[in-house]
Amino acid sequence: MSRQHFFIKPKVQLKYLLRIAGVVVITSFVLYVFLRNEINSGLAGVLDKPALADFSWALTKTFVVVTLVMVLMFCLHMLFTVHSLAGAIYALERIIKSVAEGNLKTTMQTRKGDELKDTVVQLQNMAGKLSNLVYDDRLKVQEAKQLCEQLKKTPLDSAAAEKLKELESKIAQITMQFKI
């Protein structure tokens, strides 16, 4: 199972990109308002009104450009960060779904930079250990079947023979839903 698209979970990735963009814009706006008020009050006695208005407009344009650059940079950074999280979440979901369906030999490749990679590996290890337990149980089931076959060869009353058939039926159902 390999992933071939950068947007693995677009809704998740978009949600976090919009959040970080919002934080950057709000932080920039608060900083702009605070600095503008401080600068305007400090320069009010030094500059005349037209010069102060020109300075204020230049400050506003600079803040808009800086804010847009910051939004772009943070979004690019978050795009890669969220991608590595989304990739790991995708892998975890696939493994969990596969194990829930009884496939205990499921594997999922993770990339070097994926977040939660250790969790994916641990989940795969858990599935492997469960597979080994099911395999061991199947060996025990085989032994139980052999014992049932031996019992069949001994003289049994009809009630015991019926119970033996019932036991064989239940033994046949044990662990068969797992794919190992």
Per-residue pLDDT tens digits for 10-36: 787 888 888 989 999 999 999 999 998
Question: Is 135 contained in some domain?
Answer: yes
pLDDT at 69: 94
State the Cα–Cα distance between residues 109 and 87, nearest whole angstrom: 10
Which is higher by pLDDT, 1 or 142? 142
Cβ atoms within 10 Å, residue 127: 20
pLDDT at 158: 84
Question: Is 59 contained in some domain?
Answer: yes
What pTM, to 2 d.p., does this model score?
0.56
Supply the range of the domain harboring residue 145: 10-173
Query: Which tokens hold the place of 55?
Result: 């300075």
Tell me the pLDDT tens digit for each residue of 136-178: 888 888 888 888 888 888 888 888 888 888 888 888 787 777 7
- Alpha-carbon torsion, ordered 74, 79, 84, 85, to 10 deg: 80
Q: How far is CA 152 from CA 61, 146, 149, 168, in A?
A: 92, 10, 5, 11
Phi then psi dihedrals of residue 103, to 5 deg = -85, 100
Question: Is 5 contained in some domain?
Answer: no
pLDDT at 6: 63
Mean pLDDT of 29-56: 89
Question: Is 148 contained in some domain?
Answer: yes
Our count of domains for the chain comes to: 1
- Percent of the chain predicted with pLDDT > 90: 17
**Average pLDDT of the chain, as a whole number:** 84
Question: Is 132 contained in some domain?
Answer: yes
Question: Is 3 contained in some domain?
Answer: no
pLDDT at 1: 46
Question: Is 178 contained in some domain?
Answer: no
pLDDT at 129 over 60: yes
Contact 120, 92 (CB under 8 A): yes
Question: Is 1 contained in some domain?
Answer: no
